[in-house]
A and B are shown apart, each in its own frame.
Chain A
Amino acid sequence: DIQMTQSPSFLSASVGDRVTINCKASQNINRYLNWYQQKLGEAPKLLIYNANSLQTGIPSRFSGSGSGTDFTLTISSLQPEDVATYFCLQHNSLWTFGGGTKLELK
C-alpha cells in the first residue's frame, strides 16, 4: 500500500503570506496527486488534480507542483477565506489521503 506523509500538520500564517504544504509518497506515484480544501463542517473541495492542474473555478493563487514522490501545494497570497484543512490524495494505485494540514490565520 502507498502511504502519504503530509507536512506540516498545522500551519499559522498571515494574510498575504506565501504558504506551502507538502506531501511525500512512499513510492513513485507519477503525477497522480490531488489536493483538497475542507472548511469546517463542509465537504472537501477539489483544488488541484494530477499534481498541477487547477480545477475549474479555483482561484489562481492556488498552484501545485511535483512528480514522483514529492509534491507541493502553494497559496501565493493567503486570504482569510483560505482558512481550512488541506489534504492530498494519491490515485496512482488505489487511493490514499495524506493526514491533513490545518491552516489558520496568525
Chain B
Amino acid sequence: EVQLVESGGGLVQPGRSLKLSCAASGFTFSNYYMAWVRQAPTKGLEWVASITNSGGSTYYRDSVKGRFTISRDNAKSTLYLQMDSLRSEDTATYYCTRGLRRVPFDYWGQGVMVTVSS
C-alpha cells in the first residue's frame, strides 16, 4: 500500500524557517517524481515545488523561488521541503504527492499544517 506521511509543520514567526519531511513507503521511491502542493485555509490547491526521481532537476512556483528548497534522500525514501523567509501567505496545509512525468500527483499524503504568524 502506498503511504506518504508528512511531518514537521507547526506555528512559525514571519521570516523564520521550517523544514517539512515526507516519509514514503509501499513503492519504489527512486522511480517517482515527488512534489509539494499546498492549500491555504478554505482555498484551492497550489503547486509549490517538484523534483525528478533522481533529484537532478527541481522546479518551483515563482512565489517561493529563492526561499524554498525541495530535496530528497532516495536511500531513506524521504522527501523534504526547506522553507526559509516564511511569509503569512505561506500559511497552508502542505501535501506531499508522487507521480510519473506524465501521470503526476497520483497519490497524496494527509497533509501537514504550516501557520506563519507573529
Contacts and interface: CB of A to CB of B under 8 A. Distances in A.
Secondary structure of the A contact surface, majority rule:
loop
Secondary structure of the B contact surface, majority rule:
strand
A3 to B, nearest CB: 13
Given A49-B103, A50-B102, A94-B59, A44 B108 contact: yes
Contact of A46 (B50, B61, B105): B105
Contacts, number: 52
Interface string B88-118: 0000000100000011111111110000000
Interface in A24-69: 32, 34, 36, 38, 42-46, 49-50, 55
A46 B104 CA distance: 9
Contact of A99 (B44, B62, B104): B44
A49 B106 CA distance: 9
Contacts of A89: 45, 47, 104-105
Category for how many chain A residues contact B: 20 to 34
A87 interface: yes
A97 B45 contact: yes
13 contacts: A34-B105, A43-B110, A44-B95, A45-B108, A50-B103, A87-B44, A89-B47, A89-B105, A91-B104, A94-B61, A95-B105, A97-B46, A100-B45
Interface of A: 1, 32, 34, 36, 38, 42-46, 49-50, 55, 87, 89, 91, 94-100
